[in-house]
Amino acid sequence: MDPKAVHGFVGNKLSFSEVTPRDGIRMAAEMAPEDVVAIIGASGLRGRGGAGFPTGKKWEFARGQEGSPKYIICNADEGEPGTFKDRLILTDFPELVFAGMAIAGRAVGAEFGILYLRAEYGWLREHLDAALERCRVANTLGNNILGASDFSFDISIRMGSGAYVCGEETALLESLEGRRGDARNRIPFPVQAGYLGKPTVVNNVETLAWVPCIMVKGPSWFAAMGTRKAPGAWLFCVSGDCKRPGIYEYPFGTSLRQILSDVGAENAKAVQVGGASGTCVPPAQFDRTMTPGDLATGGSIIVFGPGQDMFAVAENFQHFFCDESCGQCIPCRLGNQRMLEAIGRMRKDGLTVDGERNVRQLAQTMTVASKCGLGQMSARAFLSILNNFSGELPGHV
Amino acid sequence: MDSELITVTIDGKEVKVIPGTTVLEAARTAGIHIPTLCHHDDLCSEALYQQTASTPHQGEHSHQHEESAMLSTPSSCRICLVEVEGLPKLHASCALPIHNAMTVRTTSTAIRHARRDILELMMSEHYGDCFACARNGTCELQKLCADYGVTSERFGRPHEPLFEKAEIGNIIVRDQNKCILCRRCVRMCALYQGVYALTTEGRGDHSRIATFMGKEMKDATCINCGQCINRCPTGALTERDDTDAVWHAIEDPDKMVVIQTAPAPRAAIGEMFGCEPGTPLTFQMNTALKRVGFDKVFDTNFSADLTILEEGSELISRLYKALVLKDNTAALPQFTSCSPGWIKFIEHFYPKYLPNLSSAKSPQQMMGAVLKTYFAEKNGWDPSKIVSVSLMPCTAKKFEAARPEMDASGYRDVDYALTTRELGRMFKQAGIELPKLDKTPFDDPFGTPTGSGVIFGATGGVMEAALRTVFEIVTGEKVESVFDHADIKPVRGFDGVRMAELTISKVGPVPEILSHLVPDFEWLKGATLRVGLAHGTVNAIRVMKDIEEGGPLSQCHFIEFMACPGGCLGGGGQPIPTDREIRAARAKAIYSEDATYVVRKSHENEDVLRIYREFFKEGPCSHKSHELLHTHYKERV
Ligand SMILES: Cc1cc2nc3c(=O)[nH]c(=O)nc-3n(C[C@H](O)[C@H](O)[C@H](O)COP(=O)(O)O)c2cc1C
Ligand code: SF4
Ligand code: SF4
Ligand code: SF4
Ligand code: SF4
Ligand code: FES
């Protein structure tokens, strides 16, 4: 394995540093839009925002929509606990992200892009505006990009509202339109009726950054990095109880054990993969691999060392969801509160048969009945801790 | 057409629907009931497209997409969940549009468990005692908890209130301990009323319903219309309860307790006693009122007719001033002034147009003023001993009754304004089974019922009554010569904004009663009288915008505004639930009552003519009538 790490032990060496964004745009400008969609589709690129949806498919849907204008939105709300890769990409490779957005615009027939920037990243604003200006001067943004008469695209930056849920794409759209960041119903999907009711592609920063790379180096270059089932590479943010925290690029199919050994966390007691919405993996499962369908991730890996109280960890996550739920739907708003109380009782009095049945039933309801991904995934961390670490509860023999 | 229909299978039944129909609606067509809480029929997109169009005017958020986004059901309670074959998880049927053939299950163990969990979660932060709750029996949450066998075992119940009660602008009482955050109130206030008094604040466990710009509840910019109450599924919103004070007055032997009853409650109060909507119980109600101890029962129709004479005369004299005397202080179009929600609305949002408001008091206040003067004098009663109570379909009437200026006689025109719901409760407390009672007529001297007063209860009613009178006074002809049965159909209906025209082809002599206002009617000969109507204050915004832009409504002479959707029959004090069908049934009852009366025109009401002979001797809009029957308005922030 050859992880390309930042702040890690191999030095700043990501695939992104090998590509000139302008080249990607030039290729797209010289191509028919449907060919751009086809290339991204063939690469097998999947969304890096957490859900892992195939990007080519998303663009194809958007391309097929009749409404106009269409919009490309870059989701730079990066709120998942333990993720900081988008910040790095925006700092070091902003032109790559803008190129990805322009190429997406070319592919689906959109001329306007918005970058929704996490409120806490406000200090990046000036840097990004300057980069946008450079792109306009270089004509990789603006009218008739690189001389193509039918290729115009520009981007504006909008600040986020400081809520985790605003990273969820429909809440993000509400927030962009000036309302509370409450998640919308997911039918219709944003590609059908998104920003201002128009067809809208929402992609993560990293997803978009890969796009010009794939254009330049070709879909097979990208695919060859991973496995047959899961082509490509991914950025992982490793934090917690490890010797070398940082951002690492790994191909798909890498095992968790491998990553832990690279970052100096061989003695980990548990690893939270995928942030607060993810799952907590015990040592017995460290051979699982980073692959959609196995350990899908939003790029966050949090290591818990031997000294951690796993139910305190669970309580912490649940607390996060109580605060961060947008508050509109009952299973999430109240489910998380009752779940938090139940964990507190469990930590004090141990687990009863009834108690366990009740929390599992509640978790089930939160999962199937919540309106958006936040509520649907907010019991996951706790359930995986309950499944693997119930021995830590008092009264357990 | 048929080929465009989509077939869905719901619980094994096949239904054909037009694309975009929600699963909830499709299930209803198939006769399958799915429980709902955050959904309300008035707040689904179809109803809203019919009722509203316009932009909010308060605050920043005024771009057009606002509405279309708010139109969609929030689908936040999740109680209406169903299973869809091929899709993971459960889906909110109220917000699931059908675009392809699908197979749906509305009941299964998973669904039942989820629904019960949701209800138990709601109850885990619900503090309230059903027995002591105004919504006991009409509470949607209570009913579902019973249906799903909800217990407090798993998630517990609060043992003390989590929130303090608050009043919104003194009239609307909000008990957040019973709030399930369904936002029906927020949406109603914004989408039908255009007031935006309420909003959702905070995230996660701090979410709550608050006021626009974070004002204290009591300082909220609210027009007291009560429409939020009528849409609230629980007892979280109620009106200020004045029944104790009224009981107290009834039991005081020194007091003469008089009640006037408005037209709209009659067509609705039966709903509280198991009757079908649209069952008029006017005269049974009189019996019941006597039985609970009111000394006199008068018909607000009397003062509605009085209002028409005052307001109609005011219109004629304004038209004369503006058209003949070229006096530009006579503001046109004249706006009606009998809906106190509308009055507060214009005072807050369009104060520039206060001169356009008719200065005539509303029928409630006119009746009150006449009771403590003319009636007291005539019967030798001490006005200080009269307790003037009104039965109104309206919560805003409480505010109107309490306006400081409403005491020109030296006494409060109206001491207590009860809603239909409050009176229904009083009847229940007195063990009265309303539908079973005999009929009793109204008390004289205000007992002659006229149809024109009755139709005040429906949107368009005031206008129709005014047109009947103005037309006949001006032309000396019967209105039947133009409109069959004197039914002025163009002003009826439920469209949010309506306009109508009436040409005055000939004129007659000025009747004695108006001779102090105009010398003749020649100047009206051949004129076309243009009138407009709006109900639900969001439609008032449409009208005001059109006037500001110099559109067709600015060319009107007279415009009727009703704060509540449907007019008074849809008032905020009416029985719950409400929806378009219920309001239509109430309207039908009101118009058929009108049709049964012998006297259907205000200026033919003998009692009204007598009061001008005996008391307001100088006629409508004269000095004395101005003192007692007219008022003024003020700008509010
Ligand atoms: C609660 C919640 C928070 C999310 N936060 C983010 C985020 O911060 N950044 C992001 O790119 N996607 C986030 N997502 C995922 C987005 O909804 C969306 O799937 C993603 O932006 C699509 O881009 P992709 O296809 O490129 O992954 C979040 C989803 C949920 C349910
Ligand atoms: S699941 Fe949570 S965050 Fe999502 S809509 Fe419901 S309350 Fe809001
Ligand atoms: S709101 Fe409903 S459930 Fe709550 S106390 Fe009132 S009737 Fe009972
Ligand atoms: S009474 Fe009317 S204006 Fe006031 S909050 Fe309720 S709906 Fe809004
Ligand atoms: S006050 Fe009533 S209508 Fe408003 S959110 Fe609460 S429960 Fe719903
Ligand atoms: S009624 Fe459908 S989610 Fe509330």
For residue B602 the two structure tokens come to 């205000």
- Sheet strands (E) in B11-113: 13-17, 81-84, 91-92, 102-105
Mean per-residue pLDDT, B363-381: 95
Extents of the domains making up chain A? 12-218, 233-304, 310-392
What does the pLDDT look like over A82-106, one tens digit per residue?
Answer: 999 999 999 999 999 999 999 999 9
Whether B71 shows a pLDDT value over 60: the answer reads no
pLDDT for res A278: 94
Residue B83 pairs with which residues in a beta bridge?
Answer: B105
Q: Is residue B265 part of a domain?
A: yes
Report the CATH number that the domain containing residue B8 is assigned in CATH.
3.10.20.740
Sort out which chain B residues have CB atoms less than 8 A from A196's CB and list them: 65
Contact (CB<8Å) B121/A338: yes
Domain around B390:
256-302+364-436
What is the DSSP secondary structure assignment for residue A275, as one 8-state letter? G
Whether the Cβ atoms of residue B532 and residue B459 lie closer than 8 Å to each other: no
Separation of alpha carbons A247 and A262, rounded Å: 12
- In tens, the pLDDT along A203-235 reads 999 999 999 999 999 999 999 999 888 889 999
Residue bearing the CA closest to ligand 5, atom 3:
B232
* B163 Cβ under 8 Å from any chain A Cβ: no
pTM exceeds 0.90? yes
In 3D space, the residue among B50, B101, B63 whose CA is nearest the CA of residue A197 turns out to be B63
Ramachandran sector of residue A197 (left: φ over 0; alpha: ψ -120 to 50; beta: rest): left
* Mean predicted lDDT score pLDDT of chain B: 92
- The mean pLDDT of B96-115, rounded to a whole number, is 96
Strands A270-273 and A300-304 come out as: antiparallel
- Strand extents, DSSP E, B138-225: 166-168, 172-174, 198-201, 208-211
Among the partner-chain residues A185, A326, A376, the one whose CB lies closest to the CB of B203 is A326
Instruction: Please report whether residue B452 resides in a domain.
Output: no
Most ligand 5 atoms within 8 A of CB, residue of B39, B179, B193 to mutate = B179
Which residues are within 8 A (CB) of B392 and not within 5 positions of it... i.e. 6 or more apart? B262, B264, B265, B364, B417, B418, B419, B420, B568, B571, B573
Hey, is B454 helix, strand or coil?
A: helix
- Choose from B203, B208, B209 for mutation: most chain A CBs within 10 A: B203
Is B255 annotated in the active site? no
- Domain covering A310-392 assigned CATH 1.20.1440.230 in the classification: yes
pLDDT class for A250, splitting at 50, 70, 90? very high
CA of A324 to the centre of ligand 1 (A): 15
Does any ligand 5 atom lie closer than 6 A to the CB of residue B37?
no
Taking 50 as the threshold, does the pLDDT of residue B60 lie above it? no
* Together in a domain, B494 and B529: yes
State whether residue B80 is helix, strand or coil. Answer: coil
Q: Average the pLDDT over B199-210 and give the result.
A: 92
Rg of the Cα atoms in chain A = 21
Q: Compare CB distances from A361 to B68, B89, B113 and report the shortest one's residue.
A: B113
Distance CA(B363)–CA(B319), nearest Å, equals: 23
Q: Which of B436, B468, B498 is the last residue of a domain?
A: B436
H/E stretch holding B625:
helix B623-629
Question: Taking the CA atoms of chain B, what radius of gyration do you get in angstroms?
Answer: 25
Label residue B69 by pLDDT band (50, 70, 90): low
Q: Is B92 in CB contact (< 8 Å) with chain A?
A: yes
Does the pLDDT value for residue B327 go beyond 90?
A: yes
**Domain of residue B196, CATH code:** 3.30.70.20
Pocket test for ligand 3, best of B125, B129, B136 (most atoms within 8 A of CB): B136
Q: Which of B24, B98, B108, B205 to mutate to test the interface with A (most CBs of A within 10 A)?
A: B205
User: What is the 8-class DSSP label of residue B72?
Assistant: S
Question: Which residues 8-67 in chain B show a CB within 8 A of chain A?
Answer: 60-61, 63, 65-66
Which residues of chain B lie closer than 8 angstroms to A328, CB-CB? 74, 76, 181, 183, 200, 207
- Secondary structure class of B417 (helix, strand, coil): strand
- Identify whether the C-beta of residue B20 lies closer than 8 Å to the C-beta of residue B101: no
Tokens of B111: 């669904």
> How confident is the model at residue B151, as a pLDDT?
84
What confidence score (pLDDT) does residue B170 get? Answer: 79
CATH number belonging to the domain at A12-218, selected among 3.40.1190.20, 2.10.10.90, 3.30.420.40, 3.40.50.11540: 3.40.50.11540
Contacts of A326 in chain B (CB under 8 A): 203-204, 207
Is any atom of ligand 5 closer than 6 Å to the C-beta of B126?
A: no
Q: What tokens were used for B301?
A: 């129709």
The H-assigned helical ranges of B252-299 are 263-266, 282-292
Residues B280 and B380 in one domain: yes
A52-78 core/surface letters (b: 16 or more CB in 10 A; e: else): bebbbebbbbbbebeeeebbbbbbbbb
Contact A197 B124 (CB under 8 A): no
Q: B355 and B223: one domain?
A: no
Unique residue bearing structure tokens 């009265």? B432
DSSP string, B99-142: -S-EEEES--HHHHHHHHHHHHHHHTT----GGG-TTTTT-HHH
Nearest CA to ligand 5 atom 2: B232
Q: What is the pLDDT of residue B61?
A: 32
Neighbouring-strand partners of residue A164? none
Ligand 5, closest atom to CA B181? 5
Active-site annotation holder among B311, B347, B464, B593: B311
- Alpha-carbon dihedral B2, B7, B12, B13, rounded to 10 degrees: -30
Long-range contacts of A84-87 (CB under 8 A, 24+ apart): A84/A237, A84/A247, A85/A205, A85/A206, A85/A235, A85/A236, A85/A237, A85/A247, A85/A299, A86/A118, A86/A204, A86/A205, A86/A206, A87/A121, A87/A124
pLDDT of res. B70: 58
Q: Which residue of chain B is at minimal alpha-carbon distance from A365? A: B114
Q: What's the pLDDT score for residue B514?
A: 94
Instruction: Point out the ligand nearest to the CA of residue A371.
Output: 2
Rounded to an integer, what distance in angstroms lies between the CA atom of residue B621 and that of residue B630?
8
Query: Which is higher by pLDDT, A389 or A162?
Result: A389
What is the spatial distance between Cα A239 and Cα A271, in angstroms, rounded to a whole number? 10
- Cβ–Cβ of A178/B124 closer than 8 Å? no
A297-341 pLDDT, tens per residue? 778 999 999 999 999 999 999 999 999 999 999 999 999 999 999
Look up B326 and say whether it is catalytic.
Answer: no
DSSP tally for chain B: helices H, then strands E: 22, 18
Judge whether residue A6 has pLDDT over 80: no
CA–centroid distance, residue A12 to ligand 2 (Å): 38
Same domain, B537 and B603: yes
State pLDDT tens for residues B213-263: 778 888 889 999 999 999 999 999 999 999 999 999 999 999 999 999 999
Q: Are residues B346 and B463 in the same domain?
A: yes
B160 shares its domain with B209: yes
**pLDDT, tens digit (0-9, with 9 covering 90-100), for B477-493:** 999 999 999 999 999 98
Where residue A397 falls among pLDDT bands split at 50, 70, 90?
Answer: low
Q: Which of B61, B124, B204 sits opposite A327 (nearest CB)?
A: B204
pLDDT over threshold 60, residue A263 = yes
Q: Nearest CA to CA, how far is B196 from chain A (Å)?
A: 14
**DSSP string for B469-524:** HHHHHHH-S-GGGTSGGG--GGG-S--SEEEEEEE-----PPPGGGTTT-S-SGGG
pLDDT of residue A9: 43
Contacts of B97 in chain A (CB under 8 A): 187-188
Residue to substitute from B76, B123, B124, B184, interface A, most A β-carbons within 10 A: B76
Interface of A with B (CB under 8 A): 163, 165, 174, 177-180, 182, 184-185, 187-188, 196-197, 321-331, 333-338, 358, 361-362, 364-365, 367-371, 376
Q: How far is CA A390 from the centre of its chain?
A: 29
pLDDT in tens, A265-300: 999 999 999 999 999 999 999 999 998 888 877 789
Cα–Cα distance for residue pair B109/B103, rounded to 1 Å: 17
Domain identity same for B332 and B354: yes
Catalytic residue among B164, B405, B480, B501: B405
Say whether pLDDT at A12 is over 60: no
Strands A112-117, A71-76: parallel, antiparallel or unpaired by DSSP?
A: parallel
pLDDT in tens, A35-76: 999 999 999 999 999 888 999 999 999 999 999 999 999 999
Q: Residue A396 contacts by C-beta under 8 Å, 6 or more apart in sequence?
A: A350, A351, A390
Kindly report the average pLDDT of chain A as a whole number.
Answer: 94
Q: What is the CATH number of the domain that holds B353?
A: 3.40.950.10
Question: B554 C-alpha vs ligand 6 centroid, how far in Å?
Answer: 41
Give domain A233-304's CATH number out of 3.10.20.600, 3.10.450.100, 3.30.750.24, 1.20.1070.10.
3.10.20.600
Instruction: Name the more confident of A397 and A115.
Output: A115
Are B272 and B319 found together in one domain? no
The conformational region for residue B554 under phi > 0 = left, psi -120 to 50 = alpha, else beta, is: alpha
The Cα-based distances of B184 to A166, B43, B49, B187 in angstroms read 23, 8, 17, 5
φ/ψ of A301, rounded to 5, equals -130, 115
Q: Are strands B416-419 and B81-84 parallel, antiparallel or unpaired?
A: unpaired
Do residues A281 and A289 touch, judged by C-beta distance below 8 A? no
Q: Which of B211, B240, B269 is the last residue of a domain?
A: B240
**Ligand 5 contact, B181 CB (< 6 A):** yes
Instruction: Give the number of domains in chain B.
Output: 4
Test A330 with B63 for CB contact under 8 angstroms: no
Residue that wins the pLDDT comparison between B506 and B56:
B506
Q: Distance, CA B68 to ligand 4 centroid (Å)?
A: 21
Q: What is the mean pLDDT of residues A8-26?
A: 81
pLDDT-above-70 percentage for chain A:
96
Ligand 5 neighbourhood includes B182 CB (under 6 angstroms): yes
Contact B289, B252 (CB under 8 A): no
Determine the distance in angstroms separating the CA of A119 from the nearest CA of chain B, rounded to an integer: 16
